Structure 1
Amino acid sequence: MNLKVQIGLKSQIEALLLLGGEDIKLKELSKFFNISQGKLVEILLELKEERKGTGINIEIDGENIYLVTNPLCGEIVNSFFNQETKPKKLSPAALETLSIIAYHQPITKSEIEAIRGVSVDRIIQNIEEKKFIRNCGKKESIGRPNLYEVTDKFLGYLGINSVEELPDYAKIKEKINGRNEN
């Protein structure tokens, strides 16, 4: 007896992502399922939204697609696996750089440096390695510099789901400027 269970495309994609690790490419999945990359991205974004409140999330990083644990579950995961070392806290410089990116994204490294007044080469490298930011394209200007944006992992580190949940930058700036005038 040959039982062939029909399973939906979303479920098939999830199964491949689970087993594929970080090696699954958008182009490969598109070709395998014989659908356009645009349609695949649409399906992946739906899946990402559906999984938002679960322990496993979908991360789309340029051409790579993979499953990650929900950053909001980080404390419980660390607790269960009894990790001896806690995740390192971010330096004030890294937090400042991440704040600039979060409020001004997409933004180039030189634009961040203009705001901070110092080089951010090493900081960008470190927070990119932590997957708190990602390269989200190129700016249409001389040299075509990389554009950066914060990731869901960074938002999870802050305990929020979207940049819209960040405090209102204009109100904070207004309060700070008001205090400095008094």
Structure 2
Amino acid sequence: MDTAELKAVVESLVFVSEAPITPERIAEALDVEKKRVLQALEDLVQEYARSRRGFILSEAAEGFQFRSRPEHAEWIRRLGKSRPFKFSRAALESLAIVAYRQPITRAEIEYLRGVDSGGVLKTLLDKHLIRILGKKDVPGRPLMYGTTREFLEVFGLRDLTGLPTLKEFSELAPETLQEE
């Protein structure tokens, strides 16, 4: 399979995939080297980024997926007549704690937040942003929570290493932090 055909087939597989598709999965399906698939994906990402189309090829949740351009979000919301999902401060705090400290128990989250977090955790579970990882091996065997692939997709992260570090947070301008 030549490079042009490979790129076209890879593009088709990404298009029909319901969730971000990994380069390994594509290579397996096409019976080609992962290196060739990665090169095709990199070329496609650059081509879509340069084009004036309404969508881009983006890396998320350790795979690749077509996404609308962020600058078109308002038009898309108007079409669907929907409001963007907004996280409450409690939900954002709890989600950040889970993302950075996972696996973590409800008691540990509540200790860090200083308030009951049961309702917030239920909401995050219902939205598939966190999941139960198992039970901690301590008396009472409390549930342990961690983030999901949907979390990575929603926030456009390849994996958890894409989360900002504490140093990056401290470098934010003070006026940026006060706006919220």
**The residue matched to 1:7 in structure 2 has which SS?**
helix
| Cα distance in 2 for residues equivalent to 1:151 and 1:22 | 11
State the partner residue of 2:102.
107
Q: What is the aligned counterpart of 1:29 among 11, 26, 30?
A: 26
Gaps of 5+ in 1: 157-161, 173-182
What's the % identity of the aligned pairs?
Answer: 21
Point out the more displaced range, 106-115 or 41-50. 41-50
Deviation at 1:15, TM superposition (A): 1.7
Aligned length: 151
**The residue matched to 1:151 in structure 2 has which SS?**
helix
State the partner residue of 1:123.
123
Match of 1:116, as an amino acid?
R
Deviation at 1:91, TM superposition (A): 1.7
Match of 1:85, as an amino acid?
S
Q: TM-score, normalised by structure 2?
A: 0.52
RMSD: 4.8
8 Å contact 1:57–1:68 — kept in the other structure? yes
Match of 1:68, as an amino acid?
R
8 Å contact 2:58–2:64 — kept in the other structure? yes
Deviation at 1:126, TM superposition (A): 3.9
State the partner residue of 2:147.
148
State the partner residue of 2:175.
none
| Cα distance in 2 for residues equivalent to 1:164 and 1:32 | 34
Q: TM-score, normalised by structure 1?
A: 0.51
Residue 68, structure 1, aligned to residue 63, structure 2: no
Q: What is the aligned counterpart of 1:46 among 42, 53, 62?
A: 42
| Cα distance in 1 for residues equivalent to 2:113 and 2:36 | 38
User: Which structure carries more relative contact order (alpha carbon 8 Å, separation 6+)?
Assistant: 2
State the partner residue of 2:83.
86
Deviation at 1:152, TM superposition (A): 5.4
8 Å contact 2:130–2:145 — kept in the other structure? no
Distance of aligned partners of 1:167 and 1:67 in 2 relative to their CA distance in 1, 3 Å threshold: same
CA displacement, residues 134-181 of structure 1 (integer Å, 9 cap, x when unaligned): 77xx79x869x564275353369xxxxx64499844578xxxxxxxxx
